[in-house]
A and B are shown apart, each in its own frame.
Chain A
Amino acid sequence: MTADARTDDHPVVALTPRPPGPRERPARPRGQRYRRREVLLALAFLLPNLVLLGVFTYRPLLDNFRLSFTSWNIASPTAEYIGVDNYVEWFTSSSSQTVMWNTVVFTGAAVIGSMVLGLALALLLDQKLVGRNAVRSLVFAPFVLAGAAVGVAFQFVFDPTFGLIQDVLGRLGIEAPAFYQNPRWALFMVTTTYVWKNLGYTFVIYLAALQGRRAELDEAAEIDAASTWTKFRRVTWPQLRPATFFLLITVLLNSFQVFDVIHTMTRGGPLGDGTTTMVYQIYEETFVNLRAGYGATVASIMFVALLLITLAQVFLMERGRQK
């Protein structure tokens, strides 16, 4: 006897095997048929995204790696293969050290600054304060502004002749730092501007994490008369770890790739490379020095660096979760 049976969760299967007809394929094991259909469906749904990723992300990525081994004037239709010369040049150039240092300082300061300040603001605005919703909106607003607009606006803050800081310090009898002429102050200026712009992002993530924490733990700490610092360290902070890991990855990746603020405020200067980070070097080499091949090399090195950083972070996060 041959019979079909259907369950809620499984496809139709033959209970008793029967010999295959002339146009029928041999019956396959149940798991294999199930897997094939699922795979086809999954592929069908994934394909549009894979196409987009392939065309707009991975193909340019591979193209970039290919170009990194060439000497290519960006206006020229042809590129000349030069092997690893670009890589050798970058790793042996003294300017690369400055660029790396700027990148590390900018990224480190931006990550630490925006996360610490974002957490502080989130803790403050998590309290029941009058007008906190309005203040929350104000804190978040800069994040949605264009970086170029923020850069231009902050020129009026740091301008040595007309700027807000110059004006305030002048009233106190203090001379304003040479923000546009001293590389350290220039780096401080662009970092501060970026932190101000990015603060809303870290703030809103931390605020969401704070509002999702377990209230009974807070109450237990209060019953035990724990101090504010102890309560934060022992109760609140452990619950913020997932958000902190998430922010660490996203803020670091975003800070590493900042271009707009630097371009509008300093164009990578002063003194040539005072605020030139890796992303800005890619731009300068490609569009100013017209060395698109060398720019592709810097981009490839940056991609590998970001990949390694991300893998390390994910590894650390997994290990933290297991603990």
Chain B
Amino acid sequence: MNALNRRTASRLVVGGLALTLLAACAGTGSVETDEAPAAGTTADTGEVESLTFWSNHPGESKEVEEEMIAAFEAEHGIEVNLVSAGANYEELAQRFNAALAGGDLPDVVVVSDVTWFNFALTDALAPMDELWETVGVDSDGYVDSLREDYAFDDGHYALPYARSTPLFYYNKDMWEAAGLPDRGPETWDEFAEWGADLQESAPDVAPLVAPDGSNYLDWLFQGMIWTFGGAYSDEWEPTFTSDESVEAGEFLQEQVESGNIAISNDSTNQFGAGQAAAVLASTGSLGGLTETAQFAFGTAFLPGPQPGVTTGGAGLGIPAGIDQARQEAAMELIAFLTDTENTVTFSQATGYMPVQKAALENEDTIAYLEENPNARTALEQLEVTASQDYARVFVPGGGARIGAALDRITTGGEDVETVFTELEEETRTVIERDIEPQL
């Protein structure tokens, strides 16, 4: 009995130790061998049977994404697994980061204007140029400025998908009550005058509401700073302290202090509920506002004097860590989702800009624009769109850093020049520490 106990115990110990060793030897990543086909790939031919598409459904687009995917499946015979991989671009990027370390990569992933660059810099995304040729994608068909937003180091790392620009939305009823013409202000000075009229006409309602620094004020203010002739940076050189940039910051601060601009954590809904006469928001909010707003509203360019049409939104990328066959199949899916017909469908469902040049002359688009003149503004902006400043989109944490600084000058009331000087120093430090060694 004693011997049996000892034997049993010894076996248990040995078994446990073996298990420990096995567990300790297990890697944190997944390894695919030549013998076994990757998931969703047939063993005999290597043909891809299924693809995984990670999306955050920008612009509440899940339904239209499912429709487009069903059409792709019918046409190509490849099953597509649409995964809700985050509530916003940042969450989606975090999940992709985790997948890069732990395996289980998707085949197609939504990458935002802010997140794609780091993935390209660290070779996590596949360059697409060769894939375009292999699959037969006409890259020249895409709107040039939108396609070139994803260019880095002689390659392109995404194709435009849900692309947006900032719009000035205004409540026509409130505009009329304040005696204003049915258009957006042409300059910020004109807005300042109109703001006073709007406050007098409706004292309980903010003339213009903008999101706070945690909700993309940094993106919208980028357009505003351009209209003043300033910028966040000139390539890798921060320019927050240029006279024009500081002037833009001081103007924003003055308008907040005078009550012409309110900063909100929920600005689009505030405007949609009639609690603000105007809002600075993305073209991607157009679909939602059209559905929910109980009043007539118009859209306009951001006030000038110069254009401030910064691009934004997201593109579609392919992980570098999946095999060639899957990358080619993923490229086919991306080409399908962003072809002329589908970009028109997607644009009309969400408000995002069509990404194909041919979409602008498409019959459906023309008919749609006649019925929905608010959508025309975004298309008219296409000609003057410009890529974003490096300090926001390429510097890690750039958007959040600038957003926090803008919070300090708007709701915090701190001195603009002091805050922008600190911001410039922080940004330069990050560039020197995290970017320059990798370039």
Given known pairs A75-B124, A180-B265, A272-B408, the reply for A291 and B16 (CB within 8 Å) is no
**Is B328 part of the binding interface, using a Cβ–Cβ cutoff of 8 Å?**
no
Give, as a whole number of angstroms, the nearest-CB distance from A180 to chain B.
4
Question: Considering the chains assembled together, what is the distance between the CA atoms of A71 and B275 in angstroms?
Answer: 46
**Is B31 part of the binding interface, using a Cβ–Cβ cutoff of 8 Å?**
no
The answer to whether B275 touches A161, judged by C-beta atoms less than 8 angstroms apart, is: yes
Return chain B residues, CB-CB under 8 Å to A36: 6
Return chain B residues, CB-CB under 8 Å to A11: 2
Return chain B residues, CB-CB under 8 Å to A44: 9, 12-13, 16
The answer to whether B24 touches A55, judged by C-beta atoms less than 8 angstroms apart, is: yes
The answer to whether A74 touches B101, judged by C-beta atoms less than 8 angstroms apart, is: yes
Question: Considering the chains assembled together, what is the distance between the CA atoms of A266 and B404 in angstroms?
Answer: 12
Give, as a whole number of angstroms, the nearest-CB distance from A71 to chain B.
8
Question: Considering the chains assembled together, what is the distance between the CA atoms of A89 and B19 in angstroms?
Answer: 41
Return chain A residues, CB-CB under 8 Å to B26: 55
Given known pairs A180-B265, A270-B411, A290-B396, the reply for A41 and B9 (CB within 8 Å) is yes
Interface residues of B in 386-439 (CB under 8 A from A): 396-397, 400-401, 403-405, 407-408, 411-412, 430, 433-434, 438
The answer to whether B13 touches A287, judged by C-beta atoms less than 8 angstroms apart, is: no
Return chain B residues, CB-CB under 8 Å to A48: 16, 19
Question: Considering the chains assembled together, what is the distance between the CA atoms of A153 and B16 in angstroms?
Answer: 46
The answer to whether A161 touches B122, judged by C-beta atoms less than 8 angstroms apart, is: no
Give, as a whole number of angstroms, the nearest-CB distance from B123 to chain A.
8
The answer to whether A291 touches B396, judged by C-beta atoms less than 8 angstroms apart, is: yes
Return chain B residues, CB-CB under 8 Å to A267: 214
The answer to whether B90 touches A272, judged by C-beta atoms less than 8 angstroms apart, is: no
Q: A interface, by DSSP: helix, strand, loop or mixed?
A: loop
Give, as a whole number of angstroms, the nearest-CB distance from A34 to chain B.
10
The answer to whether A271 touches B5, judged by C-beta atoms less than 8 angstroms apart, is: no
Question: Considering the chains assembled together, what is the distance between the CA atoms of A36 and B2 in angstroms?
Answer: 11
Give, as a whole number of angstroms, the nearest-CB distance from B345 to chain A.
31
Interface bin, chain A? 35 or more
A/B interface sample: 7 pairs, CB < 8 A: A75-B119, A161-B273, A271-B404, A272-B400, A272-B405, A287-B93, A291-B434
**Is B94 part of the binding interface, using a Cβ–Cβ cutoff of 8 Å?**
yes
Residues of B within 8 A of A (CB): 1-2, 5-6, 9-10, 12-13, 16-17, 19-20, 23-24, 26, 90, 93-94, 97, 100-101, 118-119, 121-122, 124, 212-214, 263-266, 269-270, 273, 275, 396-397, 400-401, 403-405, 407-408, 411-412, 430, 433-434, 438
Known: A181-B411, A269-B212. 10 other contacts (CB 8 A): A40-B9, A40-B13, A51-B23, A55-B23, A73-B438, A75-B121, A180-B212, A272-B405, A289-B396, A289-B400
The answer to whether A270 touches B212, judged by C-beta atoms less than 8 angstroms apart, is: yes
Given known pairs A74-B97, A161-B270, A270-B407, the reply for A37 and B5 (CB within 8 Å) is yes
The answer to whether B213 touches A37, judged by C-beta atoms less than 8 angstroms apart, is: no
Return chain B residues, CB-CB under 8 Å to A40: 6, 9-10, 12-13
Residue among A11, A71, A74 with max Cβ neighbours from chain B (10 Å): A74
The answer to whether A162 touches B122, judged by C-beta atoms less than 8 angstroms apart, is: no
Give 1 or 0 for each of A186-221: 1 = CB within 8 Å of chain B CB: 000000000000000000000000000000000000
The answer to whether A284 touches B400, judged by C-beta atoms less than 8 angstroms apart, is: yes
The answer to whether B411 touches A271, judged by C-beta atoms less than 8 angstroms apart, is: yes
Given known pairs A54-B23, A290-B118, the reply for A271 and B408 (CB within 8 Å) is yes
Return chain A residues, CB-CB under 8 Å to B397: 284, 288-290
**Is A126 part of the binding interface, using a Cβ–Cβ cutoff of 8 Å?**
no
Return chain A residues, CB-CB under 8 Å to B273: 161-162
Return chain B residues, CB-CB under 8 Å to A271: 213, 404, 407-408, 411-412
Question: Considering the chains assembled together, what is the distance between the CA atoms of A44 and B26 in angstroms?
Answer: 22
B19 touches which of A47, A180, A268 (Cβ 8 Å): A47
Question: Considering the chains assembled together, what is the distance between the CA atoms of A289 and B114 in angstroms?
Answer: 11
Give, as a whole number of angstroms, the nearest-CB distance from A286 to chain B.
9
Return chain B residues, CB-CB under 8 Å to A272: 213, 400-401, 403-405, 407-408
Q: Select from chain A the residue with minimum beta-carbon distance to B276.
A: A161
Q: Select from chain B the residue with minimum beta-carbon distance to A38.
A: B9
Question: Considering the chains assembled together, what is the distance between the CA atoms of A271 and B212 in angstroms?
Answer: 9
**Is A311 part of the binding interface, using a Cβ–Cβ cutoff of 8 Å?**
no
Return chain A residues, CB-CB under 8 Å to B433: 71
Residue among A12, A77, A270 with max Cβ neighbours from chain B (10 Å): A270
The answer to whether B263 touches A181, judged by C-beta atoms less than 8 angstroms apart, is: yes
**Is A260 part of the binding interface, using a Cβ–Cβ cutoff of 8 Å?**
no
Q: Select from chain B the residue with minimum beta-carbon distance to A289.
A: B397
Question: Considering the chains assembled together, what is the distance between the CA atoms of A270 and B121 in angstroms?
Answer: 30
Across the A-B interface, give the 10 residue pairs with the lowest CB-CB distance, nearest first: A272-B404, A47-B16, A44-B12, A289-B397, A40-B9, A181-B411, A75-B122, A290-B396, A76-B122, A180-B265
**Is A146 part of the binding interface, using a Cβ–Cβ cutoff of 8 Å?**
no
**Is A159 part of the binding interface, using a Cβ–Cβ cutoff of 8 Å?**
yes
